[in-house]
Amino acid sequence: MLQTLLPILIFAALIVGAIGAARRIRLWRQGQRTPVGWARILHMPKRYLNDLHHIVARDKAMAHTHVATAGGFVAAMALAIVVHGFGWRNPILGGLLLAASAVMFVGALAVNRRRIHPRARPFPEKLSKGPWQRLSRSLLAYSVGMFLVSLPLVGIGPVAFGGGVLAIVLLTLVAWGVLELVVGMGWGGPMKHAFAGSLHLAFHRRPERFDDRQAHAGSTNTHDAHRGSRSTALFPLDLTAPKLGVEKPADFQWNQLLGFDACVQCGRCQAVCPAFAAGQPLNPKKLIQDMVVGMAGGSDTGYAGAGYPGIEIGKHQGAPEQAIVPQLVEAETLWACTTCRACVEECPMLIEHVDAIVDMRRFLTLEKGETPEKGAVAIDNLIATDNPGGLDNASRLDWAADLELPRIQTRPEGVDVLLWLGDGAFDMRNQRTLRALVQILRAGGVDFAVLGDEERDSGDVARRLGDEATFQRLAERNIITLSRYRFQRIVTVDPHSFHVLGREYPDFGGKYRVLHHSTFIAELFDAGRLTIRPAERKETVTYHDPCYLGRYNGEFAAPRRILEALGIEIAEMERSGFRSRCCGGGGGAALSDVPADLPGRARIPDMRMEDARATGATTVAVACPQCTAMLEGVVEPRPQIKDLAELVADALVTPASAEPEASVAVSSPSREEEPA
């Protein structure tokens, strides 16, 4: 009986699964067409075994579990097709099938152990229940069933299994497993992650993020490497297109929809999302699931994980041709994102959340005019005055009135370094950092100049708020300005400007060598151009990695090298390097109308300060004007906030810094000009 029913079962499952897969592909093809070569499918194995595996392996137990379960299943299924399907009942193959089923069984046990929650070990908040709980039992059913029906192949119990009730029970187990694992793969069960995920890896929207890897500072774990890429993920928008941005799920590119479908709901994104932790109405996992709901049509009632804080699950529904906001996702969810890319960094399926959010913001801003009020004001100011504060652009250099900064306009022969000030030039706190940097540049004998009032905002905020039109206008004007002058490289204290100038302007024809000031100062140290006096008293310092310097650009080493050069030992926070927690100031989230402090919840910078306090640090070294502002906004008592440039300037051995008050500003510029 088994020998007739098993092949029918297996082939029926394969055929039905294939039909489901074809329907799934149709769902993805609702998206916009992006030309991709089929040859890309060849990238898939390497990306799976290398890039994906390393991210999964940040959780060692889970990686082993997955290798056993998935590896066991793939082998067991392939062998089952040969042995049971085609009836090639070879005892060696049968033995291999038994071994594969056994391995899968061990993996399935581990999966179940993780999801069974006795009182002592609560169910992990980040995991989803529902079909995912079912999957863990289906894995057991398949492995047990397949093991037992394959025993006769090696000559065990052939009589007992010939017929009767036991055979029916075993067939049912196998059928259950096959239904979940093979049919479900095509029809949208949890196992669709394997099918969608493989294709997603092959046709990934940002292929440059593979094969780009930086070791994590201070970690010997080979999996603990930053594997994001130094690319922007935001694609230039064609401003002449009939519709700007993403209104409906079908407006996404097809491979974005494919990426959403690959989600395994592991909740790693949710666990690292600063907005979620602060009780803001955002959960990256739910957002991706909502996109899947929108793509397939339906409501979010079937979602069995954590929702957006403060927003009830089950009230929203979507369809491919129906507007996403507000029927499927509330606008405040999109505006709560700080674009810190922690979710992108942690996602084992390499899903891109942030560009999807910006795509949707683009529609809200460019077509609906629904940017949050403060964001809209910032955009209006950018249009009118080239800076988000609405200040007179001519006052960009007011903080340096006594420094006699060289202007690039007076240096037609060119300079080595163009100092890009960024909008921090209008912020009194950041002006101290800028003054410190000027002091360092002069001490290092660097040939530098500034653009002065010809510099405009880089367009970072406008772009993250979805105003691609204003961003492109600013980018084009900045590129025209920069094309008039000669310089070797650009140095800036603002990681956002650094990222935008270095990674986003090339799309518009501006290709520059851009360095963050931490990289540049580290180079000065390496070249022995700075003399410093070692710190007199030992102090505990921790370093906060800015998202746009670290995760976005992979610069984790230079800031640490600087602190090391200063003789400071860094007390690393639990979340540092590529896992650094956002300060809450990026991506225009600070300009959204979502209240920063919800009752009973912590603000994002407060949580980050808690991380810093836990190290016992008395100083938090920062490398970004936004982080400085956000962290310094935390109520005292708290560790003091110092930019790397300030720490270096304090330790410089120059005639100026020999006097204790010299760094307080009004020292005469002529003294500062003398190199050490």
Assigned token pair, 100: 């594969």
Burial of 569 (0-12, 13-18, 19+ CB in 10 A): exposed
- The amino acid at residue 430 is N
User: Which is nearer to another protein, 17 or 372 (by Cβ)?
Assistant: 372
Q: What are phi and psi of 497, to 5 degrees?
A: -60, -40
Contact 628, 429 (CB under 8 A): yes
CA angle, residues 132, 138, 143, in degrees to nearest 5 = 135
Residue 331 beta carbon to another protein: minimum distance, rounded to whole angstroms? 12
Residue 496 beta carbon to another protein: minimum distance, rounded to whole angstroms? 22
Alpha helix (H) residue ranges in 179-298: 184-187, 192-202, 254-261, 268-272, 274-277, 284-296
Residue 363 beta carbon to another protein: minimum distance, rounded to whole angstroms? 8
**Euclidean distance between CA atoms 622 and 645, whole angstroms:** 9
User: Which is nearer to another protein, 472 or 576 (by Cβ)?
Assistant: 472
3-state DSSP call for residue 271?
Answer: helix
Contact 463, 471 (CB under 8 A): yes
3-state DSSP call for residue 416?
Answer: strand
Give residue 402's region: left, alpha or beta (phi > 0; psi -120 to 50): alpha
User: Which is nearer to another protein, 109 or 376 (by Cβ)?
Assistant: 376
- 508: Cβ–Cβ under 8 A, 6 or more apart, which residues? 236, 472, 475, 476, 479
Between the two ends of the chain, the Cα-to-Cα distance in Å is 91
Q: What are phi and psi of 543, to 5 degrees?
A: -120, 130
User: Which is nearer to another protein, 477 or 601 (by Cβ)?
Assistant: 477
Residue 469 beta carbon to another protein: minimum distance, rounded to whole angstroms? 4
User: Which is nearer to another protein, 368 or 489 (by Cβ)?
Assistant: 368
For residue 259, which of 529, 27, 78, 550 has the smallest C-alpha distance? 27
User: Which is nearer to another protein, 364 or 421 (by Cβ)?
Assistant: 364
Tell me whether strands 298-299 and 317-318 are parallel, antiparallel or unpaired: antiparallel
Which stretches of 387-519 are assigned E, i.e. beta strand? 415-420, 448-450, 487-492, 514-516
CB neighbourhood size of 5 (10 A): 16
| Interface contacts to another protein, rule CB under 8 A | 239, 243-244, 365-371, 376, 379-380, 383-386, 390-393, 467, 469
Q: For residues 78-113, b (16+ Cβ closer than 10 Å) or e, as one string?
A: ebbeebbbeeeeeeebbebbbebbbbbbebbbbbee
- 503: Cβ–Cβ under 8 A, 6 or more apart, which residues? 230, 231, 232, 552, 553
- The amino acid at residue 119 is R
Q: What are phi and psi of 241, to 5 degrees?
A: -65, 150
**Euclidean distance between CA atoms 456 and 421, whole angstroms:** 9
114, 141, 143, 425, 641 from 109: Cα distances, Å: 9, 11, 10, 58, 48
The alpha carbon dihedral of 571, 575, 579, 582 has a sign of negative
Tell me whether strands 487-492 and 415-420 are parallel, antiparallel or unpaired: parallel
Residue 475 beta carbon to another protein: minimum distance, rounded to whole angstroms? 15
For residue 646, which of 617, 619, 614 has the smallest C-alpha distance? 619
